[in-house]
Structure 1
């Protein structure tokens, strides 16, 4: 059996769905009508769907224990948004902070020839905001990988 090479949905565990929804709304994102205020939020993107769900409910659904108070804040996962220029990265980082997020690593030139920074939402979910001149963006804003 072959599993399709794609993802349909990314679910972020959050402490409070309504607070998290408000943050992503301040970024200018609009949740899908299938969202249930206070329970789960869905944001359609040109790639997959982003979902926000209470961490305890996500852990329960996956049959895993909820993270304890001493758990590391870094979850070893980062989502990324590729942008068309360095200026767009800087603008996005500024908007992220204005919406209530934080900067993990300021945007800077990278060893791979691009420009990127890391930001976190109020629940600590990590996002990279990047410009990669080797990956042009298609009409949906998604990177085009040469040879793929």
Structure 2
């Protein structure tokens, strides 16, 4: 075992507007942690916590002395679904919940299918299906390819 375990436990998004961002993720039907409020909140997603934290507070902790970031940072988050057809349905549901469409569902050269949306603050999400993906009972990704 290494000193730093090979695991991803929490993904934190710096929120410019906590009220709106919380509303969006709740509109997707994702259960918010009971302790969630406008100072910090989280959504437990198949063993990984998606945390929302005010951008100014996150910048002060994670990048002290830096300016508040703007624009897309070149990072995407992904939600893997169980079937090829679910990509299209999940994409439509996300757009209905307030996501901005970025790229519609497309069959990819590697054999899967995916689409891209942005949440109300521009964070990019890929909705993806891979033919070799398997999940545990919590929905955590076990294998990809």
The reply to whether TM is greater than 0.5 is: yes
Gaps in structure 1 of 5+ consecutive residues:
none
- The RMSD of aligned alpha carbons is 1.7
Query: What TM-score, normalized by structure 1, do the two folds share?
Result: 0.88
Range 136-145 or range 85-94, more displaced: 136-145
Gaps in structure 2 of 5+ consecutive residues:
none
> Greater strand share, 1 or 2?
2
> What do residues 23-43 of structure 1 show as CA deviations (whole Å, max 9, x unaligned)?
0010001211121x2211111
CA distance in 2, matches of 1:67, 1:41: 20
Deviation of 1:87 after TM superposition, in Å, equals 1.5
**SS of match in other structure, 1:144:** strand
Match of residue 46 from structure 1: 46
Matched, 1:4 2:2: no
> What do residues 43-96 of structure 1 show as CA deviations (whole Å, max 9, x unaligned)?
11212111111111110111142336xx4x221111111111121111110011
CA distance in 2, matches of 1:112, 1:21: 34
Aligned length: 143
Query: What TM-score, normalized by structure 2, do the two folds share?
Result: 0.90
